[in-house]
Structures are given as C-alpha cells and as structure tokens.
Amino acid sequence: MSASETTSIPGTRAQAPASPPSRLRHILSLDDFERAAERYLPKPVFAYVSGGVEDNVSREGNRAQFERWRFVPRILRGVGKRSQKTVLLGKEYDHPFGIAPIGIAALYAYRGDLVLARAAKASGIPMAMSGSSLIRMEDVAAEAPDAWFQAYVTGEGKTIREVVGRAADAGFGTLVLTVDVPASGNRENNVRAGFSTPLRPSPSLAWQGISHPGWLFGTFLKTIARHGMPHFENNYGRRGAPILSSSVLRDFSDRGNLDWRHLELIRGIWKGRLVVKGVLHPDDARRAIEHGADAIGVSNHGGRQLDHVVSPLAVLPDIVAACGEVPVIFDSGIRRGTDVLKALALGARFVMLGRPFGYAASIGGEEGVRHAIRILATEVDRDMAMLGLRDLSEISGDFLRPA
C-alpha cells in the first residue's frame, strides 16, 4: 500500500488504511459489527457469542453502568497533538485497549484466533488467546509471539503443570488465569438456539448452515476442507473434543476445585507475567497480588457467568485502590471510546473487549478486526481532544461526574 493510501491515527505507530474495504464501509461503530454478524452467523453460533446467562441482567447491566457517568471536559489545553500510548506489563501499546480472550473463535471466524492475533499485532495492541480454542496455541504463538495465553485450569496439579508448561514452551510471555468459571454459566439462550459444545448434528443445525451460506462456505466448510474437523486444542496438554459430534462429551470437570493454592502453584511454575482475570472484590485483588499476580483483570466475563453479578465498572475504583501500583485491566461492556475513557478515569490502566472483536473477525477477518480497532482508536482520539487530554496519563476521576 502506498503512503497516499494510508493515514495515521494520531499517536499511533501503525499506519491504518485510509478507508476500509468497501464491504466494511457501512460499519461505522462497534455495534454495527454485531448487527452484521447476526445476519452472517447461524442462530446457534450468534447466540453463543452474543448471549449472557439466564435473564441477561449482568450483560445489560454492564452497558447500563456506563450511563451512570458523564464527562466534564477541560478547555484551551492545546490538544493538537495527542497520544494514546500506554505501557502495560513492561510493554508499550499504541492504544489503551486490547482483545479479550474469546472462546472457539475459529467457529465464527475463519482461522479466528490467528486473525485476531494478526490484527492486534499490526495495530500495536495486545490479544489474549482463549484456552477454549480450536487452533493450537503453538500456531498462534509462532505468528504472534507477543500474544497472551488465557488458561482455564482444573484444580489438579498435573493438568495445571501440563497446560502452563505448554504455554511457556510455546513462547507466550503473559498468562491470563481466568478464575470466574468454577461452574459453567446457565446459558439458556444457547440451549434455546440449539448451541452446545460439541455442536450436535441435527436437521435444524443443517438448515442454519444452509441458510447462512457465507458462514457455511467461508468459515465452516473452508476450515474442514483445509484443516480438518476443529477440536478443542488448548484446555489441556493434549487435544480435546471435536467441535461437531453426535456423541462426544466435553470434560468440564474439576474447575470448581480451584483455590488459592493452585494460584500459588501456577506462580511457582510460570516465569512470565501473570494476569488474574475475573476479580470483583478488592480483598480478592489484594490476595491475588500477594500471590504474585502482575495485573488484575476486573471482569464479569461479559455477563456470561453469574446473572445479577455486580458490573465491573461499579467496583472498579475500590479495586484500583486495593491494587496500588499493580495495573488493573478492565473488561465487560466497552463499546465506545467514551467507555474506554470512563474506565480509565475510574482507575483502570487498560481495557479489553470481547464480543465486538469476535463479530469483526466473523464478518471481516483480519481486515474486519483492524477496522474495529481503528474505529475505537479514532473515537478515543476524538474524545481525548474534546476532554482536553494530550496524553492518557492526564485522565483522572476529575473528568467524571455522576449522571
């Protein structure tokens, strides 16, 4: 691409295409990706990505919580030059946001985890690869050595050593330990839509495939033709269940047995940076730090675990206060540049997004994810100007008032 075809987002290293490919031009906001993905994906698959649990109170509450704050801009601060660069865990990123771990990405996007990792790398942001994924972690680490790996571990020393050892051998430098899944969420919406892991072949599933030919040929059959039937590759040291099967059961056992001794064990064997994700109480944040966590992930899993759980934004300031110098990474419900800046104003060092990047990968592959990153980066940049911010280190709670 020639220089004339590119434009730089202020404060970024990477040059982004001046305009997205024509098929993405109608996508102006992150929510537009969701509407497009709903058309593109079979119902059961869209239900998996979009859904929360039970009555979706937690999922909706995450968005509603952002409504509780309004900005107080500052004026005449000479904001012609702005930078979003943010240092997290010893690395400088171009933007204060990254891609949260999202499971089975290769089911809703062709080579999903790789696409997300490539787009993140090209845009100077972090991407955490989910442990519930259908592409081998080694393949992602080989292409994107700066990607993070997120593990779901069982409360069993042997399997912990296997998966953590495998992530280290693959070359990952940052491990995210997700701790808010002691039991599977009650995803009634998935059951109603016909989603399960593995997917069970049925006439209605076949019809969903046929009536969504873009996904059927562009994602699912293309994957099978080129790479064989996808399997869960990274929950353990060994390969797990296939994504489509009439009889195989997935092993979710023993996650409920996980306790602080396992975190101690992991800290002992994992030499890289360690993020504990799914913290909602300041005492747990303190304890995770005492156990050697390098960052705390304040998250309710996008409202996909416990319904009626508190919104992470509501507890963010208390957790930030408990963490001292240890950075807090916020996720759950971010959709706009203003959301990013609210979370940062309330003390988060960094934020992550799940669903929007999943939808972007579905409908647009790597270009789609890059477009999503560019949309959010441009919003953050414009909002910074209007708030009177040259640099994100200048943001504080003083820029917010309760609505």
Per CB under 6 A, which region of 2-10, 100-108, 282-290, 391-399 contacts ligand FMN? 100-108
| Nearest distance, CB of residue 100 and ligand FMN, angstroms | 3
| Alpha helices per DSSP H over 346-402 | 355-387
123 binds ligand FMN (CB under 6 A): no
37 binds ligand FMN (CB under 6 A): no
**Neighbour tally for 292: CB within 10 Å:** 14
Per CB under 6 A, which region of 2-10, 101-109, 339-347, 372-380 contacts ligand FMN? 101-109
277 binds ligand FMN (CB under 6 A): yes
DSSP 331: E
Phi, psi of 27 (to 5 degrees): -90, 105
Q: H-helix or E-strand containing 92? A: strand 91-93
Torsion sign, CA atoms 314, 318, 319, 321 = positive
Q: Which of 175, 285, 323, 353 binds ligand FMN (CB under 6 A)?
A: 353
Measured between alpha carbons, how far is 309 from 77 in angstroms, rounded to an integer? 40
| Nearest distance, CB of residue 238 and ligand FMN, angstroms | 18
| Nearest distance, CB of residue 7 and ligand FMN, angstroms | 27
150 binds ligand FMN (CB under 6 A): yes
**DSSP string covering 127-154, please?**
BEEPSS-SS-HHHHHHH-TT-EEEE---
| Nearest distance, CB of residue 388 and ligand FMN, angstroms | 27
Instruction: Give the CB-nearest residue to ligand FMN.
Output: 354
Per CB under 6 A, which region of 10-18, 26-34, 136-144, 354-362 contacts ligand FMN? 354-362
Q: Is 301 considered catalytic here?
A: yes
Q: Which of 198, 327, 333, 364 binds ligand FMN (CB under 6 A)?
A: 333
Instruction: Considering the complex, state which of residue 79 and residue 102 has its C-beta at the smaller distance from ligand FMN.
Output: 102
Cα 225 to chain center, whole Å? 28
Phi, psi of 164 (to 5 degrees): -70, -40
Helices and strands, counts by H and E, the chain: 16, 14
Residues 6+ apart with CB under 8 A from 393: none
> Are the C-beta atoms of 300 and 315 separated by less than 8 Å?
no
372 binds ligand FMN (CB under 6 A): no
65 binds ligand FMN (CB under 6 A): no
The single-letter code of the amino acid at 251 is D
Q: Which residues are catalytic?
A: 301
Residues that bind ligand FMN (CB under 6 A): 49, 62, 100-103, 130, 132, 150, 178, 277, 299, 301-302, 304, 331-334, 353-355, 358
